[in-house]
Structure 1
Amino acid sequence: MNTLELNGIGKSYRGKRVLDGVNHSFAPGLTLLVGPSGAGKSTLLALIASAQAPSRGRLLWNAQPLPRARGALRRTLGYAPQTVDLPEDLTAREFARHMAALKGLQLSAADRQFAAIAERIGLLADIHRPIATFSGGMRRRVVFAQALLGAPGLIALDEPTAELDAVTAEQVSGLILERANDAIVVMTTHLADRLAPRAVEVLRVQDGAVVRAGAEAA
């Protein structure tokens, strides 16, 4: 079973502390991050995904500290940040193949996975179109789909249901809950109130701290 531990994690930008002294252990299941805008939820997800380095403290993946364990973590990581500069000249399928290659996945298997995920979230008919022609919601689905490639053991999702219609948001949420049966899934979403009953825990991020909260906090 995969584990992720945060020990005394802090993050500062230009002398301003965003997170301070965060201690938490994650196990497989869905963990929701809630809190006011600007509280540091996206920063926490970026730290978990090793997209940023902490200013203080350390992260441990399966009891091994980063950066030593960064390679092992990234081989089993699915990360969908809130803002991504997608390559406009590539099709969605080409972008997925590029991400699969970076993860070291077998491309034919990744192709099949991407097509299956795209079908589940209403994107299959568009995967051969250039990303330049995509709406905001379609781009969001592309970023989400690539995060699931390779059956990752750690999935960090920052507002994956934003800009999606209600039906598609439910489809995305269904896939997230399925993956949470086996993976550590940490996410922010405006649908937190609906997903909280299915989450293993809800964490509130506020004033630099991360504390456990009840489902009603969502």
Structure 2
Amino acid sequence: MNNITIAIDGYSSTGKSTISKQLAKALGYIYVDTGAMYRAVTLFAMQNDVLADTQNLIGLLPEIELKFVYNDDLGYAEMYLNGKNVEKEIRSLEVSRQVSKVAAIKAVRKKLVDLQQAMGKEKGIVMDGRDIGTVVFPDAELKIFMTASPETRAARRYKELLDKGEKVLYADVLKNVQERDYIDSHREVSPLRKAKDAIEFDNSDMGLKEQLERIHNYALRIIEKSNKKYR
């Protein structure tokens, strides 16, 4: 069976990671959360007090080692920064407030895109982020662009943070979602945009089961077509 590359892009808090994990598991593919990579670099910048000093951050990039380590209990890989599991730290609202700014830095994107492209050389991968279908894998066989209203996305993110025990206000989460949308869409390097051949997928009123069924069916159709082509 021929494996394909699946690129899932879209706005923050659209559930890209959740769907991508489930899809990868259903297909037996590798899953890569590129957002976790940018969050880890952001956490590194915060820990080293270089958030406001782009040149110093760029100078420290060679010291950053990112690695996904599979967790058998969870059923997916977690983000490790310089040998330490930082999965919990990178999901905080503090990191969310800063990640779009760090992700807009050209040198940061160059480092991480190179890593991401290396991960996907053998195909059989589901990768989610902001520029997967436009920059990282422009030739991906299946591209999905996920979207939902800012209010819907903020409500999801708010519940997720509360469930993790964080003390946050919905208004602050909504503001963060809107600010990230603007920065991601207007940055100079690799701005968030739908690839011309991507399927726009509005999940505002969809449950996870319906989302997975639809996207899984898209993937199976393309895989079947690919197999017929190379028979």
Give the TM-score normalised by the residue count of structure 2.
0.34
- The answer to which structure, 1 or 2, has the higher relative contact order (CA under 8 A, 6+ apart) is 2
Higher helix share: 2
Give the TM-score normalised by the residue count of structure 1.
0.36
Higher strand share: 1
